[in-house]
Amino acid sequence: MNTLTSAPTLQVNEEGYLKNYQDWNRDWATEIAHQYNISLTPKHWDVLNWLRAKQAEGTALSVRKVGNSGIVDIKEFYALFPGGPLKISSRIAGIPKPASCI
Catalytic positions, please? 101
**Rounded Cα gap, residues 88 and 17, in angstroms:** 10
- 8 upstream amide cis, omega within 30 of 0: yes
**Rounded Cα gap, residues 59 and 79, in angstroms:** 23
- Do the beta carbons of residue 11 and residue 25 sit within 8 Å? no
Alpha carbon distance, N-terminus to C-terminus of the chain: 22
Q: Is 83 helix (H, G, I), strand (E, B) or coil?
A: coil
